Amino acid sequence: MSLRDPSMRAGGYADVSYGSYNTNRQFLRLDTGQIGHTGIRGFVSYSHGYTDNWRGPGHDERQHIDFKFLREWGAGNRVSVLGTWNTMVASYYPPVDKADWQAQGPHGTANNLAATYNPNDAAGGTDYWQLYRQPERIAYIAAPARFTLADSVHLKVTPYAQWSYGNAPSGTTMGESGLCDGTGGCDENAVVRANWTQTSYRSGFNAALDWQLGNHDLVVGYWYDYSDDSEHQPFTAVNAQGYAADIWVDRISRTLLQPDGQQVDAGSYHMISQTNALYAGDRMHFLGHRLMVDVGFREVMLDRHGTTTSDGVQTTAGSNSATPLPRIAIRYRISPRHMVFFNTTTNFRTPDETALFGGVTDTGVATQLKNEYSVSEELGYRYSGNLIVGSLTLFNYDFTNREIQTQIGQVDSTINGGGQTSRGVDVEIGLKPWHHFAPYLSGEYLHATIDSDIPSVGGMLATRGRTAVESPTLQASAGLSYDDGHIFGMASIHYTGRQYSTFMNDERMPDHTTGNLAIGYRMDDHAVFSHPEFRMNFNNITNQHYLSGVATPTLTKVDGPQYYVGGGLAVLFTASTGF
């Protein structure tokens, strides 16, 4: 995480916003400047935001604090302490299926949670919006430091620690949750809130040694990270008004308990992960800095072990992997205006923690999932003229053991999708400001294919050669900005092509086009105020009703893929100033 350096002088910045759906936002940053003769300077900022849901009932509220204190001395020595605190309660926008969307649009009853509570009606009982309020808190602190050991040798060290907690609840009934079968005095129709809480602690450090030697800029480093993650699924009783006390669920006494006083828990996961990474790199320059070559290598060793009480999966699981990650980047400046470049990088992604306790095969038997591994290659050309700037980039991405989050039946699952190839071309061109105007155009053509048949419970699906999900073939953007130092504005339009939502390519999401507009006025300094500014933002200015993304890609359309709904027209006014 990177935060701005505190200002050398005391002052600050503030802005306030208000707009559609009762959106209001306030931000204040205070800079201390140099504190006496200590050489220390710092800042603290606070922001608050609130907005009603743009569709359906509910609202979001967030409070956030950032801080950073910095001490610099000598030739490049610096130590800082920085941190952030965030607390929020977010509402929930249900994803929709295509049939409900086509029949009712974004504001249909089937596409939103219920605004009032009715315990005798599932649409107003378990679907009551208050049961889906999602609280979250996070705290992060770090101490980045840089020391000059010699004229050309520098040491960078960053220790850090993080804590986070959140709850992603939903409404259900005692019967559906499996808490009772309607016998023994237990009401299987009683509404309860099913919580999914997660508490995570992590800490570590990153240390790197830089050495400038002739035309080489060498770096060697080591990264260590320790993570402790716990997930639980307790339940909370709901009163006659649909209210469940303590949405944070951080007190066992406020959840449903067994006769022996133990918490009712539908399942839990506990995972401890340790990462050790060694890396080295060299940035070289030749031919008077016209040719730049970057080479690097990183070995990431990841150990994860955990336990679970969830039914139907193994009770303990773990993985131990060592992944080599080489990379190279080459840039050659043909002339001050023309440059060509090539780079190839590698990366990997581990399976979700819950997936380690059992994946899905063609026979339905749990199996260990493998790390996803990818190799990306880019070849391109950049032009930077007095008026025109632009680039053309060809890219090719190859994936093995592609991780796929999907639904099999009605169960969220992670499966090994085998190989995938994504290749295409990116083009962008723009003008440097000309009479205060600066137009911009960009576009992408993408050809993404599935290279393997995908396993399912019923056998292997013939997905080889089909188009990958969530991969629109065409995307394009156009924008026009204006800024004369006082009046400024920006108009933009973005097109996203159709994309498949099933791996068998038997259902897809329609294309959509949206436009945004911003206009404003920036004043000269006045008294203690530095460049006061006023602006209006218009998002989705034509109020398009569209599906914005695939929420749950599925194997076939029979499994019912679901989609995110794009936001409607929103207008926001903001006033800001430095001081």
Task: Please indicate whether residue 382 or residue 260 has the higher confidence score (pLDDT).
Answer: 382
Which carries the bigger pLDDT value, residue 251 or residue 515? 515
Q: What is the DSSP letter of 468?
A: P
* pLDDT on residue 374: 96
pLDDT tens, position by position, 111-143: 899 999 988 877 779 999 999 999 999 999 999
Is 11 in contact with 28 (CB distance < 8 Å)? no
Contacts of 72 (CB under 8 A, 6+ apart): 39, 78
What confidence score (pLDDT) does residue 406 get?
67
What pLDDT digit, counting tens, does each position of 204-242 carry? 999 999 999 999 999 999 999 999 999 999 999 999 999
Q: Taking 80 as the threshold, does the pLDDT of residue 248 lie above it? A: yes
Give the chain's mean pLDDT: 92
Q: What is the band of 360 on the pLDDT scale with cuts at 50, 70, 90?
A: very low
Contact 483, 521 (CB under 8 A): no
In the numeric block, the tokens 């399912």 are attached to: 456
Phi, psi of 252 (to 5 degrees): -60, -35
- Distance separating alpha carbons of residues 359 and 319, to the nearest angstrom: 13
Q: What pLDDT was estimated at residue 361?
A: 37
- Residue that wins the pLDDT comparison between 460 and 573: 573
SS3 label, residue 110: helix
CA distance 292 to 393: 18
β-strand 23-31 against 420-431: which pairing, if any?
A: unpaired
Place 411 in a pLDDT band, splitting at 50, 70 and 90: low
How do residues 504-555 score in pLDDT, each as one tens digit?
999 999 999 999 999 999 999 988 999 999 999 999 999 999 999 999 998 8
Host H or E run for residue 459: strand 459-461
